[in-house]
Amino acid sequence: MSSNDMTMGAGRKARIRLDLARQTQLAADALKKALAERDLPAFYRVFRSTDLPFLGLVYEGDAAGLFRACAHVLHRLGGISPAVALAVENHFYVSSAIATFPIGDDERLDARRRALLTEIVEGRRLVANTNSRVHADRVGAVGTRARKVAGGHVVSGAASYTSLATEGDLLIFTTALEEGFPAVFMTRPRGNPAVEIGPYLFPDAMIDSDTRKIVFHDLFVPDEDLLLGGQGPEVMQLLLFEMVWHQALIPALYLGAAAQAIEESRRFLRAVRAREGAPLAELDGMVVDVGRLVIRYRAACAAVREAGEAMGAIRGAKDRAERLPRLYELAGAAKYTGTRCAEEIVAAARGVVGARAFAGDNVLERLSKEVVFGPLGPEVNAVIERAHGRRALGEGEFDGAASSPWLDGAMSASGKEETC
């Protein structure tokens, strides 16, 4: 790490002392400059020089703290460019899931996890990822397959969605084994002719997310780079845990866009005067309208914070089996609420500022183009709606009526089931 200053908390390992606010500001300033100069590699050079890509080690054993730190960084970068923040979020969610996935009861898997974390930190690696989904006539189609050979596997096929594609030093990807079971592999794509990094998937609005198609041309992956695979429950639990991190972190960056949109509204309303001479910010109608936006923003942030705090509930194999499905639902609800709220707030701010939002270098123009992608992934909001609707309309009584979300059966941040 870039700092050797260590601190010891009660009952915890030594932790690197991290000035999160200062390093986040360094990254934010570098991103603003890189966007102005159209030189995103310069931003990533600064980002790698900080401790921010390696928060998984800084907050090892503290999933809720790690979530708060990652969400803080993403919120700040999302107010500058949701597209770039999305690329960073892909690194964060995969590295965070690896850092906090509770497999201490399996020494072999834990050693593999530790080796990967060490490579990320010591090599100052950024992690790209893909679930190998492709555009096909069937939802959720997987475009890659892994064939067992001596000493490893050979992977062939294509994946449509890989963000951080050209900046990623490591690529962690999900594919299907010959037997049909899922597997999670790691490879090093830079300079590897068996990994073809294709064209931009979003060549306009989200171009800065560096999301591209990836093609594997008989890529050989040695056995030591198979992270998990097969029909064991821990495989699906890792995939679900990764998705929990992804769903919970995504709204943080888009809510950063919402916060910046409110700030742009504030600047406009204080700078422009009504015909009577008073600043628009003093008109009661404007005060009420902006107040509504702030309340919605804060309520959405609270939902995301709740999902992040609940990360601390997953501490072992028993928790993985019992709590992950509930946590997955909670993360989906937070993602749904946060991304929808962000899109609506940016649209409302654009209505306040008017055509000036698209004049000059107003940040609202970029936010308007990029924030609309929030509800589209990783799970589209319609999928989340159906999942919650089916559960509510099942044979069992709706849990909000049978108990309450605060006491009976609620998952607290500590992971304990509270009862009256």
Contact between 173 and 205 under an 8 Å Cβ cutoff? The reply is: no
Give the residue-averaged pLDDT of 42-55: 96
Classify the C-alpha dihedral 309-311-313-315 as positive or negative. negative
pLDDT tens profile 364-418: 999 999 999 999 888 888 889 999 999 889 888 887 776 777 664 444 444 444 3
Nearest to 173 by CA among 90, 84, 101, 255: 90
| CA nearest to 80, candidates 405, 379, 371, 374 | 371
Task: Give the mean model confidence (pLDDT) for residues 208-217.
Answer: 93
pLDDT of residue 418: 39
Give the model confidence (pLDDT) of 68-119 as tens digits: 999 999 999 999 999 999 999 999 999 999 989 887 677 888 888 888 888 9
Q: Look at residue 419 in the predicted model and tell me its pLDDT.
A: 33
Return the pLDDT at 319. Answer: 80
Tokens 């309450």 -> residue: 404
CA distance 112 to 270: 55
What is the overall mean pLDDT for the chain?
Answer: 87
> Which is higher by pLDDT, 147 or 133?
147
**Cβ 162 vs Cβ 128: under 8 Å:** yes
Contact 148, 104 (CB under 8 A): no
> Which tens digit of pLDDT belongs to each residue from 97-111?
998 988 767 788 888
In this predicted model, which residue has the larger pLDDT, 179 or 291? 291
Whether the CB-CB separation of 167 and 211 falls below 8 Å is answered with no
The 10s digit of each residue's pLDDT in 222-270 is 999 998 888 888 888 889 999 999 999 999 999 999 999 999 999 999 9
The pLDDT, as a whole number, for residue 138 is 55
Task: Give per-residue pLDDT as tens, 297-329.
Answer: 999 999 999 999 998 888 887 888 888 888 999
Q: 136-145, 176-185, 262-271, 338-347: which range is least confident on average? A: 136-145
Per-residue pLDDT at 3 exceeds 60: no
Residue 285 pLDDT class (50, 70, 90 cuts)? very high
143 contacts 132 by C-beta, under 8 angstroms: yes
% of residues, the chain, pLDDT over 90:
59
